[in-house]
Amino acid sequence: MLKYLVIAVATTMLLPAVAETAPPPADAAPLLDEARTAYGAGEYGHARRALEKAIVSVSAKHAEAIRAVLPKPFDGWTANDGDSTPVSLAALGGGLSITRYYAAADGTQVQIDILADSDLVEQMSGMYADASMIQMMGIKPETIGGETAFIDPTNGDINFIFDKRTNIKVTGSAPADIRKSYAENIDFAAYRAIK
């Protein structure tokens, strides 16, 4: 079991490096047609490779839509584009992982992590839906940006759960009010419109 977990984690870590060397195909439709034809001909390896390329293409479009809802850096801050990685089914229940880092001139930072459309989040959502469980853990529900946020009392991390499939987490070394301001500036309505 450990061997398979190591392989899954290693594969997940290698995906960003592969994505950097080869841009994703712009259109997944021809790849899906190619996979269907190859599958019909019994060329399963060919079909799998075409489907994997199609997944990379669709994931890139999905990531682009999600990045658009993230806040712009505040005055005096910088931000990266937002790294994205298709998540291994074996490692985290599938989905798409996106991380954007925001940095101030004094070195403090805010990090927004999104795990979208993942079975793992569906499992986590039960905990956040259980009022007695979150009370026992000391987690404090709070409305931020019109959405229910769950604040971890030990470190001030902010978690949002959407449709039992997506987790948005705001962390970092910046003061709590700055992290909260970044959370408030996520375009939640636009996020909910992403299908």
Confidence of residue 158 (pLDDT cuts 50, 70, 90): very high
State how far the alpha carbon of 48 is from the alpha carbons of 19, 28, 95, 195, in Å.
Answer: 18, 14, 18, 25
Confidence of residue 182 (pLDDT cuts 50, 70, 90): very high
* Mean residue pLDDT across the chain: 83
Written as one letter, the residue type at 103 is A
Q: Any bridge partners for residue 171, and if so which?
A: 111
Q: Give the start-to-end residue ranges of the domains of the chain.
A: 2-65, 72-193
Phi then psi for residue 105, to 5 deg, are: -65, -30
| CATH match of 72-193 with 3.30.200 | yes
Confidence of residue 38 (pLDDT cuts 50, 70, 90): very high
Each residue of 96-130: pLDDT tens digit?
889 999 999 999 999 999 998 888 888 888 888 88
| pTM, two decimal places | 0.77
